[in-house]
Structure 1
Amino acid sequence: MADIADFANDLVQERIDQALAARNAAKPALAAHSFLFCENCENPIPEGRRIAVPGCTQCVTCQEVDEILGAIYAR
């Protein structure tokens, strides 16, 4: 059975959610800049990849390894 404290907590959470949504909506969208060199192996990231995937930080090989390891550990 819900009491007054539960209703107060729900109201506070709703206000926090509204404030965060308003804050995120007011934030200007930042253009992500790609790295010139891979953060893992320090090899150059090809220009085509930097254009195709704005904000990339890894070369294709390191990205593939991360995705494979992520899939393995997600199990």
Structure 2
Amino acid sequence: MATGWAGDGAVQDQIDATVKDAIKRARSQLRQGPGLEHCEECDAAIPEARRKAVPGVRLCVACQDAHDREEAGAGGYNRRGSKDSQLR
């Protein structure tokens, strides 16, 4: 496939780099150790089942959901720079 100045496999290299970045970011956000008994944002009790299921949990379900929604809005960028992604 002709890609101009890009070498063979350049697109796959970009895809691989994007996946590696996402894995690295996800792993850096994982917590370890015992979880908190009360949410550090709203001070609501965190159920024992949640503390067992999520090691190092620091937020209740409601606060974690709000935090996840904020993080989703701060998505990455398109390395290929396609026109469709720039129009959104």
The answer to whether the superposition gives a TM-score over 0.5 is yes
Residue 50 of structure 2 aligns to which amino acid in structure 1?
R
The total of aligned residue pairs comes to: 45
The residue that corresponds to 2:5 in the other structure is: none
Say what the alpha-carbon RMSD is for the aligned residues: 1.4
Letter in 2 for 1:48: A
Mapping for residues 1-75 of structure 1, pairs under 5 Å: 32-74=33-75
Once the 2 structures are TM-superposed, how far is the Cα of residue 73 of structure 1 from its aligned partner? 2.3
| Structure 2: segments with no counterpart, 5+ residues | 1-31, 77-88
Higher helix share: 1
Query: Normalized against structure 2, the TM-score is what?
Result: 0.48
> Which has more radius of gyration?
1
